[in-house]
A and B are shown apart, each in its own frame.
Chain A
């Protein structure tokens, strides 16, 4: 049973550029959440997708956007990159409904903005 997978593993971008990160949820899961984890900090919630719609959003600017596909996979897009966007981006999947607080995380994509 494949767990949550994310691509790419590492990414280096320049300020002002745009980036797209990808996530495939754990088999049987239908909900994808994205988190940003700065070095030495806990993950911060960006947004959550269910039924191809953004269901919840954390305190992140509109430069952060996402998408969920019919097969439940998801993308995170960040426009106009800032140095402060450098972080580990984590995708977590869950099954919407009972016990959906159980979220399973992928290995993350490490984004460096120079």
Chain B
């Protein structure tokens, strides 16, 4: 079993829809949670990061962490075709520069 699980998709939604992307994890030591966006044949781009449980909002993006359930989410409001990409969740046990553990990624397609 992988430490971080993510539904691979693809997830197809119409433009303007609210998108929910999720990851589950098994290692209770994870404290820092990140979401990356990766366009085809490009490197991952850091979207958001959160520490411990709670919500964080940045424009159309909201990240949620529920450590009790070992479950994190990324919500995208008013989705745009330019949001079409693979979304990767990543986690770290501390902020001392330790390795990131990634999920397998969810491919999102937003149709005009």
A residues in contact (CB < 8 Å) with B = 4, 31, 33, 35, 40-45, 48, 50, 55-56, 58, 90, 92, 94, 96-108, 110
Contact in complex: B43, A107 (CB < 8 Å)? yes
Q: State in angstroms the CA–CA spacing of A107 and B92 once bound together.
A: 22
Distance to closest chain B CB from A5 (angstroms): 10
Whether A42 contacts B88 in the complex (CB less than 8 A), given A50-B97, A55-B97, A94-B97, comes out as yes
CB proximity to A under 8 Å, residues B76-93: 88, 90, 92
- Complex: chain A residue closest to B104, CB-CB: A42
Chain B nearest CB, measured from A50 CB (Å) = 7
Nearest-CB distance from B12 to chain A (Å)? 17
CA distance A50 to B96 in the complex (A): 12
Q: In the complex the two chains form, is A103's CB within 8 Å of B100's CB?
A: yes
Most interface-central of B6, B36, B96, B100 (chain A CB within 10 A): B100
Which B residues lie within 8 Å of A102 (CB)?
34, 46, 49
Tell me the minimal C-beta distance from A59 to chain B in angstroms: 11
Tell me the complex Cα distance, A101–B30, Å: 12
Q: Are B43 and A58 in contact (CB under 8 A)?
A: no
**CA distance in complex: A92, B90 (Å):** 13
Q: Contacts A99-B95, A101-B49 given; indicate if A45 touches B43 (C-beta within 8 A).
A: no
Contact B32 A101, beta carbon cutoff 8 Å: yes
A41 to B: closest C-beta gap in Å: 6
Question: A56 to B98, Cβ gap below 8 A?
Answer: yes
Question: How far, in angstroms, from A101 to B94 measured CA to CA in the complex?
Answer: 7
Chain B positions within 8 Å of A4 at CB level: 43
